[in-house]
Chain A
Amino acid sequence: MVDAAIDATRAGANSRRQRRADFLFRGTTKFFALTVLLLLGAVMVALLIGGMPAFRAFGLPFLWTETWNPVKQVFGGAPAIYGTLVTSLIAMAIGVPLALGVAIFLTELCPPVLRRPIGILIELLAAIPSIIYGIWGLFVLAPFLQLTVEPFLKETLGSVPLAGVLFSGPPLGLGVLTAGFILAVMVLPFIAAVTRDVFQTVPSILRESAYGIGCTTAEVVREIVLPYTRVGVVGGVMLGLGRALGETMAVTFVIGNSHRISPSLLAPGTTISATLANEFSEAVGGLYTSSLIALGFILFVITFIVLAAAKLMLMRIEQRSAQ
């Protein structure tokens, strides 16, 4: 009788202790989930505060001022912002068709046995660190482009009115175009992987019906797969764009680092990330450092918007395929 009562109290104490432990564990996981949330906010706020002196000193014109003069303490973000956008655009122009090609190959054309190995090899392109792309771009790709592709572009497109100015100037190998090429290779695996995955969400019945009425593979892709997965593909492209905008080391190696906006794609330029990588640890003076942090803030805001849009689009297609 007494024993049973003691057992019951013990069991009660035990269950209370367990409940407390459970509450603690649950609380801990929630705490760290909140930490992740706060981290993003903290990055924004820290960069905004760090960039404040520059924003105060130069105001909005910081965005379109071309001067970057550490000696006179005059800083404008235009060349870096321009370079970031142009290199990413080139990367998208080359990388997106390639990535779509890879995705089409993997979902429609590839023998099933080879699907996984080829898919993994393409994904390994994403595993290679940025700095390796940089060193390869500097020593292998840049000389190759300088001797072959750039002279070819100059000869064929250099004399075309309007477009010719894009390919004017000496072929240096190091410049905006080379950076765009490298970025195209780097975003290819990301876009290809997402596109392949969303292609696979197309219900087989749609695909098979199209083949059944005599569509060719190309027609199935164009008329069925792409319209069905449009949102997801755009999401994948935006994800790649987000990566391209913030890519640092590969670009730093090959872009030539010049704070000048040149209409020619063969000319050296700079990007936000390359400017930071090159100048930050040597920046002296509060305004110089602050201008660099301000550039970082601008980069973070741009990539945040692009990545958030990408994520929202991909969520839409996930929801649809879950239904």
Chain B
Amino acid sequence: MSRYNRRRLTNLVILALSLGATGLGLLILFLIMGSLLAHGVPALSLGTFTQATPAPGNQGGLANAIYGSVAMTAVATLVGTPIGVLTGTYLAEYGRGSALAPVVRFVNDILLSAPSIVIGLFVYTVLVVPMGHFSAWAGSAALAILVVPVVVRTTEDMLNLVPAALREAAFALGAPGWTVVIKVIYRAAMQGMMTGVMLAVARIAGETAPLLFTALNNQFASTNMNGPMANLPVVIFQFAMSPYADWQRLAWGGALLITGTILVLNIVARLLANWSGDGNTR
């Protein structure tokens, strides 16, 4: 074979392999979505949303788990977002040239990828042990710690995208620094920052590991944030690993609910980011 043909062949093989890799990635995504729909849709009914988790062999739904997930995600987002936004503001607006900012940015990026189960352990040692019992508050705290790095990262990125001219114009009018940040810069970057919050919610909505030893689980409907509380991910874990067919069915139903919510959040967040004129939301 001539050198030319050999080079062409190598090229073809490598390009075919890269096409194959992409195809495989997409195929797995569709396979996962397919199994979720195939197993999950038949498992969902009105009762899923109105009845509490059943004992094996009984009729039941996921109402208490859905409530728990929503409550803990909401608390975590409400606590984590301001911390993340203020830290991101420091990095983008005040930290320029300081020695602190690069270190915070570095640590934040590590927290962003740190194993969530370790965060669960941390909250167990600092909250659950002193309180003496598992609680939904502890679960929310663990989730809030996961929200912060995501929001810090997107807030900083989005604030950096705000044109310097806007800042300078506001300062030239004599506005004090904090008014410029809150009334001008936040307003300009609002859409992007919302994207960050939505991505953070999407991240924690399916988190299981940090809840295993903070919020634990609860067989019964409970609205007491100070006690163990059922939540979708842990219920899915427990039910899927059980030998009971009806529990496994409910686990698939819950899995479909969570994945659907998260994918919708992700897609809406991306559209929002595109809409505000920038596609860089990682």
| Residue positions of A touching B, CB distance < 8 A | 18-19, 21-22, 24-26, 28-37, 39-40, 42-43, 46-47, 49-50, 97-102, 104-106, 108-110, 116, 118, 120-122, 124-125, 127-136, 138-140, 185, 188-189, 192-193, 216-219, 221, 239, 242-243, 245-249, 252-253, 273, 276-277, 280-281, 292-293, 296, 299-300, 303-304, 307-308, 311
Is residue B161 within 8 Å, beta carbon to beta carbon, of the partner chain? no
Q: How many contacting A-B pairs (Cβ < 8 A)?
A: 274
Tell me if B21 and A101 are in contact (CB < 8 A). Answer: yes
Tell me if B22 and A300 are in contact (CB < 8 A). Answer: no
Give every chain A residue within 8 A of B263 (Cβ-Cβ). Answer: 124, 127-128
Task: Compute how far the CA of A43 lies from the CA of B13 in the bound complex, rounded to whole angstroms.
Answer: 48
Instruction: Determine which of A43, A127, A218 lies in contact with B15 in the assembled complex, contact meaning CB atoms within 8 Å.
Output: A218
How many whole Å from B221's CB to the nearest CB in chain A?
A: 21
Tell me if A136 and B35 are in contact (CB < 8 A). Answer: yes
Give every chain B residue within 8 A of A308 (Cβ-Cβ). Answer: 106, 110
Tell me if B241 and A253 are in contact (CB < 8 A). Answer: yes
Give every chain A residue within 8 A of B116 (Cβ-Cβ). Answer: 246, 248
- A-side interface mostly: helix
How many whole Å from A314's CB to the nearest CB in chain B?
A: 9
Give every chain B residue within 8 A of A217 (Cβ-Cβ). Answer: 11, 14-15
Most B C-beta atoms less than 10 A away, residue of A99, A106, A124, A189: A124
Tell me if A131 and B237 are in contact (CB < 8 A). Answer: yes
Give every chain A residue within 8 A of B216 (Cβ-Cβ). Answer: 281
Query: Which of B55-63, B86-94, B187-195 lies on the face that meets chain A?
Result: B86-94
Give every chain A residue within 8 A of B10 (Cβ-Cβ). Answer: 216, 218
Tell me if A249 and B91 are in contact (CB < 8 A). Answer: no
Task: Compute how far the CA of A127 lies from the CA of B202 in the bound complex, rounded to whole angstroms.
Answer: 8
Tell me if B125 and A293 are in contact (CB < 8 A). Answer: yes
Is residue B122 within 8 Å, beta carbon to beta carbon, of the partner chain? yes
Task: Compute how far the CA of A237 lies from the CA of B111 in the bound complex, rounded to whole angstroms.
Answer: 17
Task: Compute how far the CA of A32 lies from the CA of B176 in the bound complex, rounded to whole angstroms.
Answer: 21
Give every chain A residue within 8 A of B103 (Cβ-Cβ). Answer: 37
Give every chain B residue within 8 A of A125 (Cβ-Cβ). Answer: 25, 28-29
Is residue B177 within 8 Å, beta carbon to beta carbon, of the partner chain? yes
Tell me if B24 and A253 are in contact (CB < 8 A). Answer: no
Give every chain A residue within 8 A of B104 (Cβ-Cβ). Answer: 33-34, 36-37
Q: Pick 16 A–B contacts, CB within 8 A, sort by A.
A: A33-B95, A35-B87, A37-B103, A39-B145, A40-B110, A42-B126, A43-B119, A46-B126, A47-B125, A122-B26, A124-B266, A129-B208, A219-B11, A246-B116, A253-B240, A273-B117
